[in-house]
């Protein structure tokens, strides 16, 4: 992280194009999802089905943000493994109850399953982390590639503090 911070700092000093690729690659827009992100994306959709004006997780680029979190050296390896392992545990629970993976369950079955796992310690923690990163995507500065066009802030009429970070001053 020290090194990456140094890179960002150097850009301010020297405006070098060498680093442009580096600083443009936090949350990329994701079009095709493979597992485990397909399941994670479905769970996030099930947790955050838009209502009362909330923008959809897709328009916020939540999954693109979460994939960036997996590359982020400031997020611990243990945390990343837990997020990914949760998909496996979710599917084990789905198989135990419905003999199917989560992704192919009906909407009602998926909601029922989310209720079941939320009563377990791992499930509560796992869902909490998915919410955590969804909120980070929703409220982070748009320079990180989520909260596109500030739609997360607009939903709640939230006014960010100033100055907001320009791209060259992103931490990664």
Partner 1 sequence: MYDVCIIGSGAGGAPIAYELSRAGKKVLVLEKGRYYTEKDFFKDELAVSRRDIYTPPLDEQQHVIETRNNDGEWEAIEGRKSGWNFWNGSMVGGSSNLMSGYFHRMKPNDFQPASVYPKIEGANVVDWMIEYKDLEPYYDKVEKVVGVSGHVVQHPFLEPRSSAEYPFKPTWEHPIAFWFDAACKKLGFYSIPTARAVLPYDALERKGCSYSNFCGSYGCATGAKGNARSALLDKALKTGNCTILSDSFVYKIESDEKKATKIYYYNEDNQSLHVEAKLFVVAAQAVESSRLLLNSKNSYFPNGLLNNYGQVGKNLIFSAGGNGEGRLRFEDLPKEKQDVLLLRGAFVNRSLQDWYEYEQDGQTIKGGTIDFLFEHANPTSRALAEVYDNDSNLIWGEKLQQKIKYAFMRSRKFSFEVFNDWLPTDDCFVTIDEDVKDKWGIPVGKIRLNSHKHDIEVGKVLAGKAVQVLKEMGAVEISTNISSAPPPNLVAGGCRFGYNERNSVLDRNCKAHALDNLYVTDASFMPTGGSVPYTWTIYANSFRVADEILKRFDNKEF
Residues near partner 1 (CB under 8 A) are 1-2, 5-6, 9, 12, 46-54, 72-76, 78, 114, 118, 124, 127-128, 131-132, 135-136, 138-141, 144, 153, 155-166, 169-172
Tell me how many degrees the CA angle 49-57-36 measures, rounded to the nearest 5: 100
CA distances from 66 to 3, 49, 98, 162 (A): 22, 18, 28, 25
Q: How far is the CB of 139 from partner 1 (least distance, A)?
A: 4
Q: How far is the CB of 99 from partner 1 (least distance, A)?
A: 25
Q: How far is the CB of 143 from partner 1 (least distance, A)?
A: 8
Between 33 and 172, whose beta carbon lies closer to partner 1?
172
Between 67 and 170, whose beta carbon lies closer to partner 1?
170
Q: How far is the CB of 32 from partner 1 (least distance, A)?
A: 26
């Amino acid at each position: 992280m020290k090194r990456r911070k140094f890179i960002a700092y150097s850009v301010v000093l020297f405006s070098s194009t060498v680093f442009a690729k580096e600083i443009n690659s936090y949350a990329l827009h994701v079009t095709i999802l493979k597992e485990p992100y397909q399941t994670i994306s479905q769970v996030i959709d099930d947790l955050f089905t838009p209502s009362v004006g909330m923008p959809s997780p897709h328009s916020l680029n939540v999954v693109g943000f979460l994939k960036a979190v997996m590359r982020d050296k400031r997020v611990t390896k243990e945390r990343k493994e837990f997020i990914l392992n949760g998909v496996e545990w979710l599917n084990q629970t789905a198989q135990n109850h419905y003999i199917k993976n989560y992704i192919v369950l009906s909407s009602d079955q998926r909601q029922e399953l989310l209720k079941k796992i939320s009563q377990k310690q791992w499930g509560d923690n796992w869902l909490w982390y998915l919410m955590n990163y969804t909120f980070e995507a929703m409220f982070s500065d748009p320079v990180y590639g989520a909260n596109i066009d500030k739609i997360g802030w607009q939903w709640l009429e939230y006014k960010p503090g100033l100055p907001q970070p320009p791209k060259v001053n992103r931490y990664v």
